[in-house]
Amino acid sequence: MKRNLVALAFGTLALGMAEFVMMGILPNVAASLGVSIPRAGHFISAYAIGVCVGAPCTVLVARKRPLKDILIVLVGIIMLGNLWAAVASDYWTLLGARFVSGLPHGAFFGVGSIVAKKLADPGHSTKAVSIMILGMTVANLFGVPLGTYLGNFLSWRLAFVMVGIWGALACFFIVRWVPVIAPLPDHGLKGQFRFLTRTAPWLILAATLFANGGVFCWYSYVTPAMTSVAGISPDTMTAVMMLAGFGMLLGNLAGGQLSDRFTPERVARFTQGALCLLLVSLFFFARIPWLALLLMFLTTSGLFAVSSPQQLLILENAPGGEMLGAASIQIAFNLGNALGAYFGGLPIQQGLEAHYSALPGALFALLGFVMFSIYCSRFGRVRA
């Protein structure tokens, strides 16, 4: 495995911990700040909104800068935002810190995807992108469970301190291992956005938003769903989050390998259809602990099996605007997270149990499958 790709994976690992650790410590944060769990879900949405704002801002400000320099600045913002979150004393301060923490997320994935593709061996572009994304899945396998443990037994603030420290490590490895890569050809500001005049990118972005939003309707409230509905002990949630992270890890690796073999379109379309069925199953079998855990594992696997195919497809469909295109898929992903956290919380606000959040999730996932099916039939390598 190339060291430069590993350095990028260190960056996505920091981002993965920053984004997903809130799911594991949500009840602790809510209790500490004196807010309800649905209101604490706004901390997930604030991060996602930061992603949506940060990506286009990076294109506007830094599109002419060397790619390595952009990555270093983005990692610095990761450190700043999470250390601010660690010392937040009230709801609004933490909301602002989470927004700042999300600013570099989409931009880092966008720039990192371009760098990974340039450094990839011939015929292995999707695999190279999946190695970059690997850091996020490792974050969910080890970093998020560790943050959950710290939140349950010591302090949720330590989880954000941990992210800040990891951001410093990522910065060190990017400086050491990522080569200097010239800025992308400047097609002007209008040129960066020109790809958005075509239908194909919008179908990919819509499919990403709805499919990932569907998963996050349920996954944003995975802790109360597992403890209050499935009856799993809160003391074992660290292990549960590790299982979810292991699913993400395997799904990401499988998605990259299978896409290079069977095309990204086939892999993404099949997985998005499966996510809809899995979310329906999570609702009906939520009270059976072993089955709820198995379905959670398969759902988180599917969530990341589509990541590298989506990232590569948007690059292919964004000529002249690769940086914005690669970042926009993360905007769609995180806007889906924000909508998912909101709509998934609505049944809980109405007094229903946490597993009811899977129902709006299934509807979202179905819409994502439809959007991607239309893309495959009109623009994909595989005609459906």
pLDDT band (50, 70, 90) for residue 82: very high
Instruction: Look up residue 64 and give its two tokens.
Output: 């002419």
Q: Is the pLDDT of residue 166 over 80?
A: yes
Band (pLDDT 50/70/90 cuts) for residue 91 is very high
Instruction: Please state, rounded to an integer, the average pLDDT across all residues of the chain.
Output: 85
Q: What percent of the chain has pLDDT over 70?
A: 95
Residue with tokens 């991607």: 372
The pLDDT of residue 186: 64
- Show the tokens assigned to 202: 């919008």
Instruction: Give the mean pLDDT of 247-270.
Output: 83
**Confidence (pLDDT) at 96:** 94
pLDDT of residue 110: 80
Give the per-residue SS3 of the chain: CCHHHHHHHHHHHHHHHHHHHHHHHHHHHHHHHCCCHHHHCHHHHHHHHHHHHHHHHHHHHHCCCCHHHHHHHHHHHHHHHHHHHHCCCCHHHHHHHHHHHHHHHHHHHHHHHHHHHHHCCCCCHHHHHHHHHHHHHHHHHHHHHHHHHHHHHCCCHHHHHHHHHHHHHHHHHHHHHCCCCCCCCCCHHHHHHHHHHCHHHHHHHHHHHHHHHHHHHHHCCHHHHHHHHCCCCHHHHHHHHHHHHHHHHHHHHHHHHHHHHHCHHHHHHHHHHHHHHHHHHHHHCCCCHHHHHHHHHHHHHHHHHCHHHHHHHHHHCCCCCHHHHHHHHHHHHHHHHHHHHHHHHHHHHCCCCHHHHHHHHHHHHHHHHHHHHHHHHHHCCCCC
pLDDT recorded at residue 187: 62
Give the pLDDT confidence of 135-149 residue by residue, as tens digits.
877 887 787 788 878
pLDDT for 282 equals 93
Does CATH number 1.20.1250.20 belong to domain 3-379?
Answer: yes
For the record, the structure tokens of 376 come out as: 């495959």
Q: Does 244 have pLDDT greater than 90? A: no
The pTM is what? Answer: 0.78
Q: What is the mean pLDDT of residues 227-234?
A: 89
* Res 242 pLDDT > 50: yes
Q: Around 169, how many Cα atoms within 13 Å sit in the side-chain half-sphere?
A: 14
Confidence of residue 173 (pLDDT cuts 50, 70, 90): very high
